[in-house]
Chain A
Amino acid sequence: MTAIEVKDLVKKYDSITAVNGISLEVKSGEFFGFLGPNGAGKTTTIHILCTLLKPTSGSAKVNGYDCVTQALQVRSSIGLVFQETTLDRELSVYENLLFNCYLYNLKKKVAEARIDEILEVSGLKDRKHHSIMKLSGGMRRNLDIARGILHRPKILFLDEPTIGLDPQARIHIWDFINKLRKQEAMTVFLTTHYMEEAEKCDRIGIIDHGRLIALGTPAELKRMIKGDVIHLRTTRDLEIEQMIQKQFQLSTKRTPEGIFLEVDSGEAFIPLLFKTFGDQIQAININRPSLNDVFLHLTGREFK
């Protein structure tokens, strides 16, 4: 079954085109990652899918409901965790959760049971009656996510769930997300600008300047790059890039970080490079292609 169906989606603000003709499908139960730099149009897309914004043109369907004409049905079948926390700092953990349960029209008994269940899973059980002010950033994030699934949505949207958290807290959040996915069997649609996080998704869409520039499993995307990626730092990047192009007939990318080459076998190629430019090379690195290399390959820019 299709969880999300987007066709030629466009969103224009006065002078900016935030989303520029995106089409994609997400299957039920899939863990889909939306990867792109800041300002690429990720949040705008999520807001359209969650009916907070109306598209300028194109269509979007979530759980079979149209995001414009059947907004209420869409909203009752999804959970959305915003990029910034939406917890009420003057209420306790329990009161924040109850607020959400009632907004989704859960009966008191059902709500109480769900709250206890979710506090157990999120590891916040002994914080039930604590004020939000007393929670750490990571705990608040956990609570934000826990709150998004109180009403058992079929799809959970997570907009940059780990932004601004320290590495330790990020690991906790990911443990929590994985646990939830197993337990609730729901579709998860996540946006991120962290490559490592996107790697964990079943499928990834890479978005840049409002356009979807690649779509596939992490492995499929990396296969767009043959062999290895060599990252070279030299004293004279510009000239050396041109000489490499001429001598080895290779496509190269140059960024402020140095020169990037895609070659069949990195181990075999490095001696050749040294033979020609030995004294001008400052540093050299061979990597299996990462999603960052895929992004570089597609846009000519590094992912920042």
Chain B
Amino acid sequence: MLAFRPIYIIMVREFKRFFRQKGRFFSALARPLIWLFVIGSGLAQIVQAPDRFSYKQFIFPGILGMVVLFQSMLSSLSTVYDREFGIVRLLLVAPITKLTVVIGKIASGSFLATTQGVILLILAPFLGIKIGFVQLLSMLIFLILTAIAISSLGMLIATQMNSLENFAGVMNFVIFPMFFLSGGLYPVKLLPKALQAIVYINPLTYGIDLFKHTLLPEIYRTGRGTDFPVEFDIFMLLLFTLITASLAVVFFNREGKLVLLGRRPRG
């Protein structure tokens, strides 16, 4: 059972909060630029990009993936903050299903992440990447698919977190490894075998692969570009979403956990 209005208002709330927290807003804007122009420029000096491509072009799909990764994860993990400040209780006592709550949160994060991704696409022409209407439309769809998959994973992680104190742990052991082991910064095939295994269970890999298909179609022929067919990428993202989102719904407030956590039951 799904209700439209509750999902809508959960999204509106996330959106307002995002724009009101100035720090969040500006760091979301600055993060991809730093990667692209500071780190991208630095690495370009020592890394040789596949012929006819600049390193900045090569990592652009990866930076888009990073934007989606950070925003989706941060939005989903804000559920833990909502729990500490009691907002989750409001959701749980309202006449809506857990599925509605989880979808509302996933939709919020995905919407913010996709919006940021689309804004970042403005830079593409300046990097020498041509975007036509078809590419723009495909990018929109691929950004949404990637954002939903990562937001779902974020929700699953949020159900397992007791407080925001573990946030640094999630940053170090989930978010950064997901970014570095996604094929976004360097071709997956160059990684040692053991690390490649992680690449394959990382949803961001398939998202970035889709971005490469759309933005840098010619890189495929150099052998340093995309790793999978488009259909396989989409299938993996959908499969990943289905599994993590279902688990998130199951674990969401298992036996009053979200109501009572952080505050011992009183009275």
Asked whether A102 lies within 8 Å of B16 as measured between CB atoms, the reply is no
Asked whether A105 lies within 8 Å of B20 as measured between CB atoms, the reply is no
* Stretch from A49-57, A177-185, A285-293 that touches the partner: A49-57
| B86 in the interface (beta carbon within 8 A) | yes
Asked whether B95 lies within 8 Å of A104 as measured between CB atoms, the reply is yes
Q: Which residue of B lies closest to A42 (CB)?
A: B267
Asked whether B266 lies within 8 Å of A43 as measured between CB atoms, the reply is yes
- Contact A88-B267, Cβ < 8 Å, known A53-B255, A99-B13: no
Chain B residues within an 8 Å CB radius of A37: 267
A104 to B1, CA, bound (A): 14
Contact of B256 among A53, A76, A78, A98 (CB under 8 A): A53
Contact of B9 among A72, A86, A102, A191 (CB under 8 A): A102
A252 to B130, CA, bound (A): 92
Asked whether B17 lies within 8 Å of A90 as measured between CB atoms, the reply is yes
Q: Which residue among B6, B87, B90, B97 has the maximum number of chain A CB atoms within 10 Å of its CB?
A: B90
Q: Is the interface of B mostly helix, strand, loop or mixed?
A: helix
Q: Which residue of B lies closest to A45 (CB)?
A: B267
Beta-carbon contacts under 8 Å, B36-51 to A: none
Q: What per-residue 1/0 map shows which CB atoms of A152-191 lie under 8 Å from chain B?
A: 0000000110000000000000000000000000000001
Q: Which residue of B lies closest to A52 (CB)?
A: B259
Q: Which residue of B lies closest to A107 (CB)?
A: B5
Beta-carbon contacts under 8 Å, B1-52 to A: 1, 3, 5-6, 8-9, 13, 16-17, 20-21
Chain B residues within an 8 Å CB radius of A138: none
Chain B residues within an 8 Å CB radius of A44: 265, 267
| B126 in the interface (beta carbon within 8 A) | no
| A18 in the interface (beta carbon within 8 A) | yes
A80 to B182, CA, bound (A): 45
Chain B residues within an 8 Å CB radius of A47: 256, 259, 265
| B161 in the interface (beta carbon within 8 A) | no
Asked whether A39 lies within 8 Å of B86 as measured between CB atoms, the reply is no
Q: Which residue of A lies closest to B104 (CB)?
A: A103
Asked whether A72 lies within 8 Å of B265 as measured between CB atoms, the reply is no
| A63 in the interface (beta carbon within 8 A) | no
Chain A residues within an 8 Å CB radius of B133: none
Chain A residues within an 8 Å CB radius of B5: 102-103, 105-106
| B91 in the interface (beta carbon within 8 A) | yes
Q: How many residues of A contact B (CB 8 A)?
A: 45
Q: What is the CB-to-nearest-CB distance from B2 to chain A, in angstroms, rounded to a whole number?
A: 11
Q: Which residue of A lies closest to B100 (CB)?
A: A103
| A217 in the interface (beta carbon within 8 A) | no
Q: What per-residue 1/0 map shows which CB atoms of B140-180 lie under 8 Å from chain A?
A: 00000000000000000000000000000000000000000
| A33 in the interface (beta carbon within 8 A) | no
Q: What per-residue 1/0 map shows which CB atoms of B207-222 lie under 8 Å from chain A?
A: 0000000000000000
Count contacts between A and B, CB distance < 8 Å. 96
Chain A residues within an 8 Å CB radius of B267: 36-44, 83, 159-160, 191, 193
Asked whether A75 lies within 8 Å of B95 as measured between CB atoms, the reply is yes
A44 to B20, CA, bound (A): 36
The 20 listed contacts between A and B (C-beta, < 8 Å) are: A36-B267, A38-B267, A47-B265, A52-B92, A82-B89, A83-B266, A86-B86, A86-B89, A88-B13, A88-B87, A89-B85, A90-B21, A91-B13, A99-B13, A103-B5, A103-B90, A103-B91, A103-B94, A160-B267, A193-B267
Beta-carbon contacts under 8 Å, B192-218 to A: none
| B123 in the interface (beta carbon within 8 A) | no
Please give 19 more A-B residue pairs, beta carbons under 8 A apart, in addition to A53-B255, A105-B5. A38-B267, A41-B267, A47-B259, A50-B93, A52-B89, A54-B256, A72-B1, A72-B95, A86-B85, A86-B86, A88-B17, A88-B87, A90-B16, A90-B20, A95-B16, A103-B9, A103-B90, A103-B91, A105-B6
Q: What is the CB-to-nearest-CB distance from A286 to chain B, in angstroms, rounded to a whole number?
A: 32
A41 to B20, CA, bound (A): 40
Asked whether A88 lies within 8 Å of B6 as measured between CB atoms, the reply is no
Q: Which residue among B6, B85, B91, B95 has the maximum number of chain A CB atoms within 10 Å of its CB?
A: B95
A48 to B256, CA, bound (A): 10
Asked whether B94 lies within 8 Å of A86 as measured between CB atoms, the reply is no
Chain A residues within an 8 Å CB radius of B259: 47, 52-53
| A84 in the interface (beta carbon within 8 A) | yes
Q: What is the CB-to-nearest-CB distance from A61 to chain B, in angstroms, rounded to a whole number?
A: 17
Chain B residues within an 8 Å CB radius of A86: 85-87, 89-90
Chain B residues within an 8 Å CB radius of A17: none
| B127 in the interface (beta carbon within 8 A) | no
Beta-carbon contacts under 8 Å, B235-267 to A: 255-256, 259, 263, 265-267
| B96 in the interface (beta carbon within 8 A) | yes
A193 to B266, CA, bound (A): 11
Chain B residues within an 8 Å CB radius of A50: 93
Chain A residues within an 8 Å CB radius of B89: 52, 82, 86
A159 to B265, CA, bound (A): 12
Chain A residues within an 8 Å CB radius of B93: 50-52, 75, 78, 80
- Contact A88-B265, Cβ < 8 Å, known A54-B255, A102-B9, A103-B90: no
